[in-house]
Amino acid sequence: MPLVPVVADMNHANPVDFAKLAAAGFVGVILKARQGVGFEDPAFKPRRDAARKAGLKVGAYDFATHDIVADNVKAFLNTTGIDPDLSYWLEFEDNVRSQRTGDQAAQFLDWVDQAIGRRCGIYGGNRIREQIDDTDPADVSWWAEHPLWLCQYKDDPALRDADLATLKPHIHIPAQWKTWFLLQYAADGHGPQPRGAPGVESGADLNVFDGTADELR
């Protein structure tokens, strides 16, 4: 059985039909809310409401920048509000124009944690390994409390049609975590099949969850 994507993520530039996603069995979407202090995604609020109307769970992410963290957190939460039915994420990846450090990422998560009263998740792959210390046991334990949304695309032809059980042993998890919460397995035409789904563009960002739809909700 091939992979079954259940979460799509997107920004304002990506077309989406939430009703088609829901009908295809998707559980949720994660929408870009901000890129640091300077940019609020104009599609976030209307799409949040439209996705919920279609029966989908919604998350919001901030694309990491080198902005002053306190200002960034304030701007992010001004966009999203304190919403008990929203998941919160820091997209921590390379940004050549405004590169966030691992220490800044920790500050961002900590301050969002305190504001929302639960853990903010983190998205990433290589930058997590490069920028976040995995040698201090106390730090490792703290990071592990934050849901990991791992991006990793396997273009090996042998894994093209792999199911999740076959794919999982090939996924390399950063040392702070024992497992991932969501795995972004396909994006921009890379990764195993399927690389598309009803309601989103070809090459969309698609994610799997290792559990049931109810557990994900």
What's the rounded Cα separation, in Å, for the pair 60 and 54? 17
End-to-end CA distance of the chain: 23
> Residue 45: which region, alpha, beta or left (left: phi > 0; alpha: psi -120 to 50)?
alpha
Q: Which helix (H) or strand (E) holds 22?
A: helix 18-23
96: Cβ contacts below 8 Å, ≥ 6 apart? none
Residue 76 has a pLDDT of 98
What's the rounded Cα separation, in Å, for the pair 65 and 35? 7
Residue-wise pLDDT tens for the chain (217 aa)? Answer: 789 999 999 999 999 999 999 999 999 999 999 999 999 999 999 999 999 999 999 999 999 998 999 999 999 999 999 999 999 999 998 677 777 888 899 999 999 999 999 999 999 988 888 888 777 787 889 999 999 999 999 999 999 999 999 999 999 999 999 999 999 999 999 999 999 999 999 999 999 999 999 999 9
Residue 131 has a pLDDT of 85
Whether residue 61 contacts residue 89, with contact meaning beta carbons closer than 8 Å, is answered with: yes
CA count, 13 A, side-chain hemisphere, 102: 13
Paired residues of 30 in beta bridges: 9, 59
Residue 139 has a pLDDT of 85
